[in-house]
Amino acid sequence: MDSTSDKALMMKVKKGDLDKLGLLFERYNRPLFSFFYRMCKCTDTSEDLVQSVFERILKYRETYTGDGKFSTWIFSIARNAHIDHYRKKQREAVPVEIYENRLESEETEEPEVINKKEKKELLEIALDRLDDEKREVVILSRFEGLKYKEIAQILDTTEGAIKTKMFRALKEIKDLVNMLSEECSYE
């Protein structure tokens, strides 16, 4: 095992070399923040959840076995932290109106720039409108670069189910973007 691999570092953390967790933090704090941010759209909550993940790693470091990919393990912890957080506090949906208002406020920019921004923001709105399960699959696959097999392990399901969910999530985003585009053009 490469001594600087995620697994090797985590095994050292398990044995008591806590400084090695700093290296893992440097590698994973941004992907984790990105995951949480795309799930909740809140910077503070995302940072709290990243902190929570590393607190859990420290607390349960003795239970790390080194089985499977480290990224799978850490995103499983992240997912549980996210679920626990929202069991306590209902996720606040970002009102579409905010984005629509923002689109209206940027009318002074060049039409092509607006078009790109519109597309990007419509994609974000569409992504946010997905149910949690589908959004989770898209985020882990498209933004965090995890394989379908790894996502299946994190979500405790089959690889085929994840592929199907991914296809349907993408189709739903596409339909939502088309619908929102039409709504905007009518206005």
Partner 1 sequence: MNKNYEQLIADYISGNLEQAGKNRVEELIANGEIDFTEFRELEKMYDDLDTISTPKPSDELSTRFYTMLEKEKKAKAKSWSEYLIHHIQNVAAEITMPRLAYTVVLLLIGGFAGTLLNNNNQTQIEQLSQEMQAMKEMMMVNMLEGSSAADRLKAVNISTELPSADTEAIQALLFTLNKDSSVNVRVQAIEALKRLGDNEYVREGLVRSIAKQESPIVIIELADAMIELELKNGASEFERLLQEREFDYTVEQKLQSSIAVLM
Would you tell me which residues interact with partner 1 (CB under 8 A)?
A: 16, 18-19, 21-22, 25, 29-30, 33-34, 37-38, 43, 46-47, 50-51, 54-55, 58, 116, 119-120, 123-124, 127, 138, 141-143, 147-148, 160, 163-164, 166-168, 170-171, 173-174, 177
CB of 14 to partner 1, least distance (A): 12
1 vs 75, which CB is nearer to partner 1? Answer: 75
Q: What residues contact 110, with CB distance under 8 A and at least 6 apart?
A: none
CB of 28 to partner 1, least distance (A): 11
1 vs 62, which CB is nearer to partner 1? Answer: 62
**How far is C-alpha 186 from the geometric centre of its chain's CA atoms?**
33
170 vs 184, which CB is nearer to partner 1? Answer: 170
CB of 187 to partner 1, least distance (A): 22
1 vs 32, which CB is nearer to partner 1? Answer: 32
- d(CA 186, CA 21) in angstroms, rounded, equals 53
CB of 97 to partner 1, least distance (A): 19
Residues 118-125: contacts with CB within 8 Å, 24+ apart?
118/181, 118/184, 119/177, 122/176, 122/177, 122/180, 122/181, 122/184, 123/173, 123/177, 124/99, 125/96, 125/99, 125/176, 125/180
Sign of the CA dihedral 51, 52, 57, 60? positive
CB of 74 to partner 1, least distance (A): 14
47 vs 100, which CB is nearer to partner 1? Answer: 47
What are the tokens at 182? Answer: 């039409």
